[in-house]
Structure formats: structure tokens, C-alpha cells
Amino acid sequence: MRPLSAKIAGVTESATIAISNRAKKMQREGIDVISLSIGEPDFATPQHITDACIDALKRGETHYAPSNGIPELLGAISEKITRENKVPCTPQQVIVACGAKDAIYEACEAVLNPGDETLILTPAWVSYEPCVRIAGGKAVFHAINPKTFQLDDSLLEKVNAKTKMIIVNSPSNPTGAVFDRKSMKLVADLCTDHDIYAMSDEIYEKMIYGREHISLASVGDMAQRTITINGFSKAYAMTGWRLGYAVAPKEIIAEMSKVQQHTISQATTFAMWGGGAALKGDQSCVEEMRQEFDKRRKYVIAELNRMGYETAPADGAFYAFVKVAGDDMEVASRWLEKGHVAATPGSAFYAPGWIRLSYAASMEKLREAMGRIKRVG
């Protein structure tokens, strides 16, 4: 047989999904594993969203829809972006995809040519680099300040004539850090001065604790060169719905639309009606989940600090990023094999020596997990 794609052979599997699958396998074998390895809210999708989807199914919304999304959802997203994110937006500047990850991939395909460089700020989510690579680009990594978890002028050293795009993720997966206005302005100035596109992944924007969320596209004239990525998975507990979106200048959306038309065609029609209900409906459900995550955050961070672990500023998302002594792969393996707690090694996020714990689990499970970690060390 002739060899398969060398491009895809060079892409590693998702470390977060791999750890989650390993934990699930142990659970199927009867082992009481507490999985804190994956970023998935443990809440049910709010009822009014589920009802909207069911109603759509009942009235026959099961056929092909416009590739970029149903008009009702495109309008709801554009209104939300204009109102909440302070970025002027029309429905023509929106594309709905099968999850934020799909929107990220489509954006990479739309922007990058072979050999174009993309700056990725580390620690970074595991799928940015593969999306850049599959699109033919080259990832260039830059570590944020390990003390402040903000950006500084050292970022400028990584920019050259080949730099085409920078990926910004705030609140951050895996660290939970939230970039301040100074960091966002630094990115904006860099992009403007060097004619660079920006991808701003804001999927965790609703999960912030005492800090301000700043949309990169709202800074200066960044709206004309920023692709804002967002979705419904984290804020509305809709991970399995696979519903995300991108907001960008019309010419970028047009290129992303070509990619979508020839791959996934569209997001699921009846799921999009649920997305519209999420944005237009009562938002108290989001705040209730945020408050519960905040309670869990305070507990987990305090427990880890009492054990002597240093943690990153957990100002957003639902992760504790924990500095460990020694090999993070070995520590994560020990926690899983001896303590039956699944967590993701920092090496998966280009941050060896750290471990990511998700506190998107019940307080009962978190208390048990902290006790197990304390016992196995």
C-alpha cells in the first residue's frame, strides 16, 4: 500500500481527548476515576434552549440550511457582538460552524498560505498548532510572562516578514489567565505595525471572575483584521451540540465559507435554532453556572495552595493550572494510576512542569479528587 498523508502523520492526537478516553476506559473497567482532564461543563443544557431545538425538530427544521447559518442565528450573533463586545457587526460578517474548533480550522485555511507563520502564545490550547499545520502554515511559539501571565515587548522579537497571524486566547485554556488592556493593546499595535491578522479565541468570555473581558476586535481598528472565535459549548453547557461561530471582515468570512461549503456544508439545522434561543433568551442560567464555577474555583485553588502547589492566576475559564515538581507527565500518570484522578499534563500545552485540572465537576467530586491528590502527592 502507498503511504498515507505525511502532513497528517505529523499531527499528534489531541492530548486532552486522549487523557479523557483513557479515564473513560478505566471507568468501564470498574475503576472509580474522577476525570478532571477535559473542559466540559457538568451542567445540563438550559431547558429553554433544549425546548427550542425540540420545537425546531417538530416543525420539520431537518433540511439543509444556508451554509453560513440560518438568518435568525446570524442576526442574534451580530447583535450580541455589537452590544456586548463593542464590535460593530452585521450578519454578513458571521459564519456558524460545527463548534469553535471548526471555525478555527476554517479561519486558518482562509488566511494562511504554505509557509506563513502564525504566532501561538504558550501555554496554549492543544489544537491551535495542528490547525495551523494542516492549513499549510508554520507555528511559532512565544511563552507569555510566567510570573504575570501577561504579554510584554519580548513578543516583538518573534515577528518577521513571514508572520501572517497571531492567535490570542483570553480567558486562557489552559491557564485561566485573562489578558489585560495593556496586553491587548500590545497585540493590536503589533498587528497594525506589521500588517498581521489576529485570531481571538473568546470561547470562555462568560466565565470570568472579577476581571474585565476585552474583545481584541474592539481595540483600536483591530476589527478590520481580527477573526473572533466563539461558541455555545462553555457558556451554555452545549459541548455535544457542536455549535460555534466566527466574526470577521466580510472578505475573510467569504473565504471561510468556501472551506465550509466543501467540507461540513453547514452546522446542524435544528441545533442552530437552539443557539438562537441561547443568545436571545434569559441569561440568568449563564450567571448561575458562572457563580458555581467561581465557588469551585476558590475551593480548588485554596486546596492546591494548601498542599504547597503554585497555581496560575485563575481569573477565567474553569481550570486550575498547577506547577508541579519534576516531570509533569510522570506526575499526571501517578495521579491517574495511584490516585485515580485524571488531569492533563502541561506538556500537552507546551508548558512542561505544569498540570491542568478542570473544576467543571461537582463539589463532591472535587473534594474527593483533592483528597486523592494530597494522598499520592
In a shared domain, residues 130 and 12: no
Q: Read off the CATH number of the domain in which 210 is found.
A: 3.40.640.10
Cell of 214: 476585552
In a shared domain, residues 227 and 252: yes
Q: Kindly tell me if the per-residue pLDDT of 331 is higher than 90.
A: yes
Q: Is residue 257 part of a domain?
A: yes
Instruction: Among 237, 258, 280, give the residue marking a domain's end.
Output: 280
User: For the CA atoms of 85, 205, 351, 375, what is the dihedral angle to 10 degrees?
Assistant: 170
Specify the range with the lowest mean pLDDT, choosing from 4-13, 15-24, 344-353.
Answer: 15-24
The H helix count followed by the E strand count for the chain is: 12, 13
Q: Is residue 52 part of a domain?
A: no
In a shared domain, residues 15 and 149: no
In a shared domain, residues 224 and 262: yes
155-164 pLDDT, tens digit each: 999 999 999 9
337-349 pLDDT, tens digit each: 999 999 999 999 9
In a shared domain, residues 147 and 276: yes
Return the pLDDT at 118.
98
Q: Kindly tell me if the per-residue pLDDT of 231 is higher than 90.
A: yes
In a shared domain, residues 234 and 357: no
Per the structure, the count of domains in the chain is 2
In a shared domain, residues 163 and 200: yes
Sheet arrangement for strand 94-97: 94-97, 244-247, 226-231, 197-201, 163-169, 117-122, 138-143
Q: Is residue 77 part of a domain?
A: yes
Instruction: Among 260, 280, 300, give the residue marking a domain's end.
Output: 280
In a shared domain, residues 276 and 290: no
Return the pLDDT at 39.
86
Q: Is residue 55 part of a domain?
A: no
Q: Read off the CATH number of the domain in which 332 is found.
A: 3.90.1150.10
In a shared domain, residues 223 and 358: no
Q: Kindly tell me if the per-residue pLDDT of 88 is higher than 80.
A: yes
Half-sphere exposure of 165 (CA within 13 A, CB side): 31
Spell out the long-range contacts of 251-257 with Cβ–Cβ below 8 A and sequence spacing 24 or more: 252/107, 252/110, 252/111, 252/197, 252/227, 253/68, 253/92, 253/93, 253/94, 253/95, 255/109, 255/110, 255/111, 256/95, 256/103, 256/106, 256/107, 256/109, 256/110, 257/67, 257/68, 257/95
In a shared domain, residues 320 and 189: no
Q: Which domain holds residue 185?
A: 63-280
Q: Is residue 19 part of a domain?
A: yes
Instruction: Among 280, 311, 344, give the residue marking a domain's end.
Output: 280
In a shared domain, residues 194 and 269: yes
Q: Is residue 56 part of a domain?
A: no
Q: Is residue 1 part of a domain?
A: no
Helix (H) or strand (E) holding 280: helix 269-280
Query: In percent, how much of the chain has pLDDT > 70?
Result: 100
Can you give the pTM of this predicted structure?
0.95
In a shared domain, residues 138 and 190: yes
Distance (Å, whole) CA 268 – CA 196:
33
Q: Is residue 352 part of a domain?
A: yes
